[in-house]
Structure formats: structure tokens, C-alpha cells
Amino acid sequence: MTKSSVTSTDVAKLANVSQSAVSRTFTPGASVSGKTRERVLAAAKELGYRPNVLARSLISGRSRIIGLVIAYLENHFYPIVIEKLSRSLQARGYHVLLFMTEPGQQDEVIQEILQYQVDGVVLASVTLSSHIAQECAGLGVPVVLFNRYVPDTQASSVVSDNVSGGRMLAELLIKEGHNNIAFIAGQENSSTNVEREQGFNEALAAAGLQVSQRAVGYYTFEGATIAAREILDQAVPDAIFVANDHMAFAVMDVIRGEYGLRIPEDISVVGYDDVPEAGWPSYNLTTVEQPVEKMIADTVEILLEQMEHKQVSPTRRVTEAGLMLRGSTKSSLA
Amino acid sequence: MTKSSVTSTDVAKLANVSQSAVSRTFTPGASVSGKTRERVLAAAKELGYRPNVLARSLISGRSRIIGLVIAYLENHFYPIVIEKLSRSLQARGYHVLLFMTEPGQQDEVIQEILQYQVDGVVLASVTLSSHIAQECAGLGVPVVLFNRYVPDTQASSVVSDNVSGGRMLAELLIKEGHNNIAFIAGQENSSTNVEREQGFNEALAAAGLQVSQRAVGYYTFEGATIAAREILDQAVPDAIFVANDHMAFAVMDVIRGEYGLRIPEDISVVGYDDVPEAGWPSYNLTTVEQPVEKMIADTVEILLEQMEHKQVSPTRRVTEAGLMLRGSTKSSLA
DNA sequence: CTACGTTCTGCAAACGATTGACAGGAATGT
DNA sequence: ACATTCCTGTCAATCGTTTGCAGAACGTAG
């Protein structure tokens, strides 16, 4: 912290005005005469005065800090979320206090966050217990679950339509004539995995089909590598739906590198998220695009709205996702 | 912020002690009798008391917040840095306030950061003007440039030995018998690029060689794609050194996808950083490993040391980098 | 020149903690 | 029994702001 920092009182002294006058010149919309303002500004500049946000927060009751809790950045989807969220909030005068957490520790982490008197909280790739949600709500601190959904909670939720996304992928694979389709799951109990799988299965069922093989990849590269081997060792399906892109890359590497099969000639692979790597030529993965921009916009909107009124009401925003057709499915051969 | 938050006074009232007693029970190393502490703790628990970090910071003069400034997360090296740095600081009771910046805007951003009374600042993929460095130093706020080096500044610097890394790559390529070697640069004026290129060129020169072609990729995937085409359209070298892994992936995709050449049979490719993707089978890229763990440890150490004494002295830590031999160079064929 | 409505300005009380100074009581020694 | 020491706990000042209140200053109209 500042060793010998300049305070508003110092500025006031130099400018020959009261300390309140200094405060007022730095408070947009306060009444100060042009002359005073000018004198204060000059003095402030001379001394290099910088208002102390902490002191301001203490009295104003708003810190302009948003706590962001994230479990892992391995999946490139999340760094993008961090970047866009942070930029968007910065543009509105808010800043992001970052908390990495082990899954399962979110509740403790939130307690820690609250000590910083954050104005709002965003949880990405993480959920929270309902009693903590309750507590935040009671404090007037809005909480947004990003890309997760928990029913019956005080927290808001911003997601894309994972059910419909799963359905679209199934329909694509069916249309391409696949009938021996495997699924590699992410985290069994995450809402993203549950919903994507549900949509996928529903669409298969509607066509009188069902998944022929299933393995779990835990949303990690390693896990997906193992899951892919598990499936391929048993029997070679003609298509695999992998619950996210990050795992899909591992699966593609196993298919081509270890089993010498071609994509999509021998097996089609589809993923979910549309992270930048999905567009890289080596993978060129057909996937579902999660509309990050829109989801961030929704998140920020919910936060701002609820912070302004210091009144939280659980809101749910679902954005439509879109199919991103690339080269890992048969259609691309036509 | 808290609508009706519980203060130490509330706790004091309930526990029938003075407010100072409450403060003391929450201050490690303060003298309170077991009985009082117990009463306070009980009352605190009952009310759900949570010390207000902002108020504490205001008076104690330390916020336990570290400002982290980063320009972009496209290169997966930086998300890893964020994650590890954040975890390491959290373990020591510090937290990261994140600032995304456009390159060139760091100085304004730092001004903003200082308003939060941060105890320290880390700049990754970014440098700062010397007068801002001076200012931070004057305030007793240590600044660490992560993966960047600027001579003659008040800021500390944590880097790996990029010159030696570049040299190692050149020596490897020479040993493999290459003599028609191209280089794709990152940002022309970044210390990483300058040093890697310097080491590389020195080693080539020592063997009586020099780079045959050179293009600039600006450390972006797109830029590297274009740079690769530029080089390959002109003449096909027998090896390419790409200034970081992120760009190397683009280059490999162009080589294989657009020119139908094999790696490493037709061209060897080497990168720099050893991000996780470099180990993915599709790329399997020979590269130089930046010892992130060590660099983070150094960063945290410097920060803690200087924050404790509120006394900054520019320090430079250079970690040795190691060659990570994989399949994108000829040695792997042996 | 007075009166009155606007701006401005300064005073002082918060905000929620930490911490040094001090006082009361228990514990100890003689 | 009295003095001395050692703990504990309380009081009150302080950190750097914001902001309600009330008075000062100013301009304008009558």
C-alpha cells in the first residue's frame, strides 16, 4: 500500500479549500464552482492525487468489485470468458477479483469473497450451495452462475440452450446416416453435460436410435483420451459426440494417431463450445457454438441491474446456440 | 455491497464485550482470554459476522490485493500463468485483481490499479513506462514484469533465459543437419522475441550459418498463418523456428494443410513455451519449456519480500529453460 | 437597496475496522 | 497485608472518504 500517499486533505490544503470541496470535484454530479474545481484539479495534479477507492467504498457501500470464481482454465472456453467479462466490466467502471477454486470448495471461497464487500459474484464452471446463495441474496449481492444451472436457487443463471445444442448434433449425425453413435461425457453431474446428453438422446430416440457406447472424460484432455480408447478398444462406432471441444481434440488425436482411422471418412466427431482451436485446420471440428459474447452481455446486464437496486431476484437467461459445421463430419465430404 | 451487514460492534454487543475485543479475537497474535474469545466466536457465528476487508485495509495500510495486468489470453501460456499465480497468492492470503489492457494503455491501467491500494502489481505480456515504475516504487508498491524485461527500471523482472533457449534450438537444428532455416518473429520489440532471436542467431553464426528467411507473426495465430505462407511461397526452408508455440501451431497447419508437406520429414518446426497443446499428438512440437512454476514462485517471492518491507528494489530473476524434444524435428525419426 | 432564490462551501458525522494508552483485577512475591 | 507485575479489556483516535446540514455568497428582480 502507499507509503506516503497523497490524501484529499493534502490537496485541499494546497488548493486552499475544504476537504469536502476536493471530494466534490471528484464526485460526478456534485455541486462545485468552476473556479474551485479548477484549483482543486491543479493541486491534485501537482501532488499526484489519486482517490482511495477503499475509503470510498467503505462509506459509499459499493466497492465496484465483482468476484469471479473459476475452477479451472484448462478448457480454453474459460480464459475467453475471463477476458471478455473483465473487459466488459472494466468499461463500466467495475473490476474483477479472481478466485481459483477446487471444485467443492466454492462455498468457503465465497465467504472469502464476501469479505471484500464485492458488489456481485460470477461463478463459472462452478455452482454453489443453496444456503450460500441465500446468504448472498440476503446481503443484496447478486450471483450469476455462468454456464451452469441450478434449479430453485437464489442465484441467477446465464446459459446457452444445451438441450437444443445436443439435439442439433444428434440430428446432424442422423441425417448423415450414422446409426452407431458413441457419447463421451464430461462431468457427470454438471448441468452442461446433463443437458447436452439429454438433448442428444432425445433426438436419437425420436429417430428410433440410441447411443451405442458411452464413456466419461471428466472434461479433461487426459480423461477424454482414456475414454476414447475405452470405446475404440471395444468397437469402432461410426460417430462420436464428445461433450466439449477440449475433450474432442483428445478424442480426435486418439482416433487418428493411435487407431489410424480417418475423420470423417471412418468416424465422425462432434464437440461442443466452438473454442478457437476447433477452427484450427488440424482439428477443423464440427461443433456447437456457445455465444459467449451474448452470454457475457447477459451476465453483465443482470449484475448491473441488480446491483443498482441492491435487490436480487433470480433470473434465468438462455441463449440459443448454433451449429458450426466444419470438417469432422461427413457432410463436409459432399 | 452488504445491505444489512453485521459489524464487529454488533458482535460485541451480543457477546457483551467491547468492540476492540472482537477485533482482537480476529487478529492473530493479539491478547484475549480464552473465555472472551469463545464468547466472541460464538456471537460471531450466530450473527454470521465477516470482517470487512476494506475497513481493515484502510487502517492497516495493506489491502492484500495484487493487481495483475495482462494484454491478451489468446496464447494459452497466460491463462496458465493466471491460474498458478492466483492459486499461489491465494494460499498466502492475497488475491488477484485482474486488469485486461490494450497494449499501450498499461500506464492508465496502472493508475487505476493504484486507486485500489494494491500491495503489489504483476504485469504479464506487458511492460510499463519508467516514470510509472518510478511512481510505484515511490509508493512502496513492488512491480514485477513477468516474462518481460526492461533495462534500467524500478520494476523487477522474472524471465526465463530466452537467449539460451534460442541458442538451444539453433544448436538442435544445426545438429540435425539443417542449413536452410527460417524464423518467424513474434512482436518485434518484445524482449522475449528479441532475446530468443538473438540467441538463435548467435548460435547459427557460430556455425557459420544465418537465417535464410524471416517473417513476422505478431504472436497471433492469424499473423503466423500469413507469415508462414509468405515464407513458403518464396522458398521451402528445411526448418522453421517460430517464436512461440501458439504461432507454431498455425505454421504447422499451413505446412501440412496448405502445402502438403510432412513434419519433420520435409520441414522441421520448433516453437517456444511448451504450452499444453505442444504435447498434444496432433502437434507433438519440439519446443523450449518455460518453467512456469519456478517463474511464478520467483514472482511471489519477490512480491512478498518487498511488500513485507514496503521497500522496493528492482530485482531480476532468470530461470534456465530446457529443451523439450518431441516429434516435429528430425531427431525423432532416428 | 432589500429580499429572495440559487449555487457553493465548510463542518462534522459517519463507514468498520486497528491499535496505543490506560485502568482494573488477579496473581505473585516479600 | 501491601507492593509489584502481568493480563485483559475498554476508550478513543485514526485511516481517507462521502454526504446531510446550514450558512455564505452571489445574482436577480422588485
Is A32 inside a domain boundary? yes
CA–C1' gap, B217 and D8, in angstroms: 68
Q: Which amino acid is at A35?
A: K
Instruction: Give the domain CATH number at A16.
Output: 1.10.260.40
| B167 within domain boundaries | yes
Nucleotides of C under 7 A from a protein CB: 7-12, 14-20
Q: What is the pLDDT of residue B2?
A: 40
Out of B5, B100, B117, whose CB is closest to A1? B117
Between the CA of B16 and the C1' of D3, what is the distance in angstroms?
33
Burial label for A169, CB within 10 Å (0-12, 13-18, 19+), is: buried
Same-domain check for residues B277 and B166:
yes
Q: What is the pLDDT of residue B334?
A: 66
Please state the domain count of chain A: 3
Residue nearest to nucleotide C15 (CA to C1'): A59
Read off the pLDDT of residues A228-239 as tens digits, 9 standing for 90 and up: 999 999 999 999
pTM: 0.94
Q: Which of A58-72, A106-120, B4-18 has the lowest mean pLDDT?
A: B4-18
Q: Do residues B54 and B47 lie in contact, with contact meaning Cβ atoms separated by under 8 Å? A: no
For residues A179 and A283, membership in a common domain is answered with yes
Pair B139, B209 in one domain: no
Nearest CA in chain B to A252: B282
The whole-number pLDDT of residue A195 equals: 97
pLDDT value at position B203? 97
Asked if residue A145 and residue A84 are part of one domain, the reply reads yes
Is residue B29 over pLDDT 80? no
Quickly state the pLDDT bin for A334 (edges 50, 70, 90).
Answer: low
* Same domain assignment for residues A277 and A311: no
Q: What is the pLDDT of residue B194?
A: 97
Q: Do A67 and A145 belong to one domain?
A: yes
Say yes or no for a CB contact (<8 Å) between B95 and A72.
no
Q: How far apart are the first and last CA of chain B?
A: 64
pLDDT of residue A333: 73
Q: Which residues contact B33 (CB under 8 A, 6 or more apart)?
A: none
B71 and B45 in a common domain: no
CB proximity B5–strand D (7 Å threshold): no
Look at residues A72, A134, A142 and name the one whose alpha carbon lies nearest to residue A107.
Answer: A134
Q: Mutate which of B4, B54, B253, B263 to test chain A, going by most A C-beta atoms within 10 A?
A: B54
Task: Give yes or no: residues B233 and B248 share one domain.
Answer: yes
Q: What is the distance in angstroms between the Cα of B112 and the nearest Cα belonging to chain A?
A: 9
pLDDT digits (tens, 9 = 90+) for B62-118: 999 999 999 989 999 999 999 999 999 999 999 999 999 987 888 889 999 999 999
The mean pLDDT value of chain B amounts to 93
Say if the Cβ atoms of B117 and A283 lie within 8 Å: no
Q: How far, in Å, CA of A332 to CA of B93, rounded? A: 52
B333 falls in which pLDDT band (50, 70, 90)?
Answer: confident
B1 touches strand D (CB under 7 A): no
Whether residues A72 and A46 share a domain: the answer is no
Residue A219: CATH number of its domain: 3.40.50.2300
Residue A73 has pLDDT above 90, yes or no: yes
Q: Judge whether A3 lies within some domain.
A: no
Any domain includes B326: no
Are A231 and A303 members of one domain? no
Structural domain including B135 reads 63-159+292-319
Q: Is the pLDDT of residue B205 over 90?
A: yes
Q: What pLDDT does residue A4 have?
A: 52
Beta strands B239-242 and B213-216: pairing type?
Answer: unpaired
In this structure, the answer to whether residues A15 and A76 fall within a common structural domain is no
Instruction: Show residues of chain A in contact with B61, CB under 8 Å.
Output: 1-2
Which nucleotide lies at the shortest CA–C1' distance from B59?
D15
**Listed range (A221-225, A232-236, B6-10, B295-299) with the worst mean pLDDT:** B6-10
A246, A317: one domain: no
Q: How far is the CA of B231 from the C1' of D24 (A)?
A: 76
Q: Report if residue A45 sits inside a domain.
A: yes
Work out how many CB contacts closer than 8 A connect A with B. Answer: 173
**Which pLDDT band holds residue A29 (cuts at 50, 70, 90)?**
confident
For residue A87, list chain B residues with Cβ-Cβ distance below 8 A. Answer: 100
Check residue B291 and give its pLDDT: 96
